[in-house]
Amino acid sequence: MYKIKSVFSAIIIMGGMVVLLTSCMDNLLDQQPTSELGADAFWQTEDDALTALYGAYADVRDLFNQEYYWDGHGEFARGRSLSATNNFGTDNFFPQGYGHRFDKYYQKLYGGVHRVNYVIENIEKRMLSQSSSAGRIRLETIKGEAHLLRGMIYLRLISLWGDVPYIGHIVYDNSELANISRMPIAQVKDSILADFTYAIEKLPEEQPIIGRAAKPAALAFRGKTQLYWASWNNFGWPELEGFTPSAQEANSAYAAAAADLKSVIDDFGLDLYRGGDPGEIDELGKAEILPNYYYLFVPQGNGNVENLMVFTHGGGPGTNQGDWTMREVGGRSHESGQHRIYPTHFMADRYQSINTGDFLPKLIQMNPFTNLNARTAINSAVNPQSYADRDYRMKASIMWDYEMSVGLSGYQVTGWVPYIHMVQGSLVTIDGVQYTTFISDRGAWGYTYRKYLRNTPGLGRVEGDLAIPLMRLADVFLMYAEAVNEINGPQADAVELVNRVRRRGDLPPLQPDKYASKEAFFEAIEQERIVELYLEGQRSFDIRRWRALERIWGPPGGDGVTFLDTHGRVMERYWHNADIREYEQCYIFRIPPSERDRNPNLTQNTPWL
């Protein structure tokens, strides 16, 4: 097992405290735990403050621990119904009809706010004034990390619900919340920026250990907040009552976002993983040599400088603290994974040619059981040769028919496992060698994931020790390019940054026609966001902030979009003859009725009235 020194290793040592700080929530906010030491007795030393911070990290991690599911709201991933134990408290990560399914997540997010406020307020009121100058600096660093976590939570809240109640202190009694109102999004945004600004001022330039944040992460999140604010003002948010878009506000926010993101890029000596080099790639149907991009998302890549913000995991049998990626993306051939999310046929077409740097003809779905030529037909989705000479990130992210992965069972390697759609657990002979085919778990439509799929033994399906990235330098590159493009159109430095992201896929630089105009360059940036950030939870939020639902799924009352498997079977159809209200209810989520029952001052978002 790959060992790292991380935040989570400290959390395991302090297990009793973490249990107290991660208790379940019954209402909008949890009550302060009554079984822990009294506050006056506990908040004595810097180690006490650090213990509380680690508890907050553990809680907030669970709010952002399964970001890959958000991709199910887009066109490139399909999420299955999830178990009741998932961190969102919901099972709806489908392309349609999800805005009312995140009530528990709303409550969980506010639970995270409470945990972080607990750290901030106690350090502020009980410790700072009594500390030495050196101690004060260290305490302010701990407090800065807590401010960063709070800013992250509130950015998620306003991204989904718009105006939300803002709570910036410890709440000891839920009666205090009985009449709280939703704060206008502009004011919440200002508080988020203030949190990130405090973190920028107090955090060190480098992470002290894996999993603890540093200044570049705070700058990146402040830039992201400004970019989102600019997007809402640029593209509009008509479903948010009382919000009036402003072109001037959009331009100001784009400029502020660009400044923060540019600082991350230029001021800290950061670089893409392994210098952004694509690495080597194995031939079709083999996987002994995988591109560098693959190793960003398995434990071998933990601690790389591209990851500005990660949440770490203890991992290991019996800890109940590992990452769940193997369970979510793997099949039964990978430590009994459950295949809870898998690629759609639309994603396979997004990987461009390493020769031309442009899109290839769309793949054609063919059934090899009824069409004897399907395995050799040009552009056939079941012909392995159709996937040759494409973006290296394809090999690192997904698998198609006859692609291999390492089988794992009982913590041991079981050998190479070929994926063949609709041929599960069968003996097949490939190049004179006999294999047992990949066993799925009810679902995949002709593709499965390699991204996040560990290829090393020793850990079960929920025992991984991956440091899951929440903010990467590649995302910063693309956000910066988007921000400056909206202000000035294509700039040379932004084009260069997009090309640096493309290089890791062994793609040639963008042709001039791809950045000849603001609109063309935006399409190139969107393409890179789709491919580079696939299965990292970005697509869902990009679609909404760009108001792209109608562009992707068609207009209200239209035919919608049909999903096929690689054999050409119709698997699902979404947005067929959908009315405008269904679109509106995806652009802004429902304030939980249970919270409104407890608090009559909580207004409801207009599409849900």
Rounded distance between C-alpha atoms, residue 124 and residue 491, angstroms: 44
Mean pLDDT of the chain: 91
Rounded distance between C-alpha atoms, residue 546 and residue 540, angstroms: 10
For the cut 60, the answer to whether the pLDDT of residue 472 exceeds it is: yes
pLDDT of residue 41: 76
Which CATH number covers residue 106? 1.25.40.390
Q: Is 261 domain-assigned?
A: no
pLDDT in tens, 71-94: 999 999 998 766 555 677 666 889
Which range of residues forms the domain containing residue 400?
A: 317-464
Least confident stretch, 8-17, 80-89, 163-172, 383-392: 8-17
Are 322 and 211 part of one and the same domain?
no
- Number of Cβ within 10 Å of residue 326's Cβ equals 26
Q: Is 417 domain-assigned?
A: yes
Q: Compute the average pLDDT of residues 35-63.
A: 86
Name the DSSP letter for residue 438. Answer: P
Among the candidates 198, 215, 232, a domain finishes at: 215
Are 188 and 327 part of one and the same domain?
no
Q: Is 557 domain-assigned?
A: no
Confidence band of 15 (pLDDT split at 50, 70, 90): very low
Q: Is 295 domain-assigned?
A: no
Q: Is 469 domain-assigned?
A: no
Q: Compute the average pLDDT of residues 574-597.
A: 97
**pTM of the predicted protein model:** 0.94
Are 63 and 207 part of one and the same domain?
yes
Domain tally for the chain?
2
pLDDT in tens, 251-308: 999 999 999 999 999 999 999 999 999 999 999 999 999 999 999 999 999 999 999 9
Are 60 and 209 part of one and the same domain?
yes
Q: What percent of the chain has pLDDT over 90?
A: 85
pLDDT of residue 86: 66
Q: Is 343 domain-assigned?
A: yes
pLDDT of residue 85: 54
**DSSP codes, 175-238:** GGGTT--PBPHHHHHHHHHHHHHHHHHHS-SS-SSBTS--HHHHHHHHHHHHHHHHHHHHH--T
Q: Is 339 domain-assigned?
A: yes
Are 193 and 341 part of one and the same domain?
no
Confidence band of 444 (pLDDT split at 50, 70, 90): confident
Contact 467, 318 (CB under 8 A): no
Which helix (H) or strand (E) segment holds residue 393: the answer is helix 392-397
Are 80 and 209 part of one and the same domain?
yes
Confidence band of 38 (pLDDT split at 50, 70, 90): low
pLDDT in tens, 117-155: 999 999 999 999 999 999 999 999 999 999 999 999 999
Are 182 and 325 part of one and the same domain?
no
pLDDT of residue 28: 43
Q: Is 326 domain-assigned?
A: yes
pLDDT of residue 16: 32
Q: What are phi and psi of 302, to 5 degrees?
A: -55, 135
Among the candidates 215, 240, 274, a domain finishes at: 215
pLDDT of residue 172: 87
For the cut 70, the answer to whether the pLDDT of residue 12 exceeds it is: no
Are 211 and 330 part of one and the same domain?
no
pLDDT of residue 341: 92
Closest CA to 109 of 154, 143, 52: 154
Least confident stretch, 145-154, 156-165, 219-228, 432-441: 432-441
Among the candidates 183, 215, 247, a domain finishes at: 215
